[in-house]
Amino acid sequence: MFFLRYRIVSVIGLVNLSILCSNLSLAIKGGEKTDIKQVPWTVAVRTYPGEESLTCGGAILSQWFVLTAAHCVFDQKPETIVIQYESTNLWEDPGKSDPYVSHVYLSFYRNETMENDIAILELSRPLKLDGLKSKPAKLPDIEFRPKTGSDVLVSGYGDGQTMDPKDHDLKSANLTVVDLDECRTKYGPIFLSLQVFCAQKVGVSLESGDAGDPTVQNDTLVGVAAYFPKRPEGAPEVFTKVGSYVSWIQDIIKKKS
């Protein structure tokens, strides 16, 4: 029962997820440049060693913890992950980039099928939150699901792999939640369980580096951008439903409350 509670994605038949996760590009396509003060829970998750690179997005849970997508960090040593926050543009307004990660918490993540694509990063020292450009996101009620037809706001930086400063802007976009059964029909052999939700907007798509991006409704963290397959035409974006993991999240962040 415990495993089923946290089950997100099942695969019917043999599906090559390396193909589904191919053809990734830049940041929120069709998104609007956004001031960090509008989405102050948003962070960039960067990795070392070698040349610094943006891996994914994330959301501040507290001064000690950040929420992101599991597939971004499951194979990384914690000490190679660093958090950048309070930034509107990662190059021109870099904000703060200080604490390294001391521990990565996963919830039964399976890389082969992208199940339970959610992770908590515990930091080596606390974020210096100012309440204006950086503050924790509110958690939803247990099992909260955004209603079909309602809007959610996703924010993030993309993968930051170009030399063009504008490609390092913080961007955001409003997407409309779609019926889960309708979403399932678009994804064919990949079964989407009740622990995810789908949302879309014409002209907007999530790209490389947007995995882990926080997705909010009325300033409450309702989703984490999960994975970005080469979607069939018209298929919505998929988000891990934070409401399914609230108890797990609260148990972890209580360690340093």
pLDDT of residue 164: 59
DSSP-derived secondary structure for 158-192: ----SS-GGGGB-EEEEEEEE-HHHHHHHHTTEEE
Q: Where are the domains of the chain?
A: 40-137+244-256
Shortest CA distance to 234 belongs to which of 194, 192, 182? 182
Residue 163: φ, ψ to 5°: -95, 5
SS3 12: coil
Q: Are 154 and 213 in contact (CB under 8 A)?
A: yes
pLDDT single digits (tens) 92-143: 888 887 779 999 999 988 777 778 899 999 999 999 999 999 999 999 999 9
Positions in the chain short of pLDDT 70:
1-27, 49-54, 159-167, 227-230
Instruction: Write the CB contacts of 45 (distance below 8 Å, at least 6 apart in sequence).
Output: 54, 55, 56, 57, 58, 66, 68, 72, 73, 81, 82, 83, 84, 121, 212
pLDDT of residue 15: 33
pLDDT of residue 70: 93
d(CA 88, CA 102): 26
Side-chain-side CA neighbours of 155 within 13 Å: the count stands at 28
pLDDT of residue 161: 59
d(CA 103, CA 77): 9
pLDDT of residue 244: 96
Instruction: Write the CB contacts of 180 (distance below 8 Å, at least 6 apart in sequence).
Output: 192, 194, 196, 197, 198
Yes or no: is domain 40-137+244-256 CATH 2.40.10.10?
Answer: yes
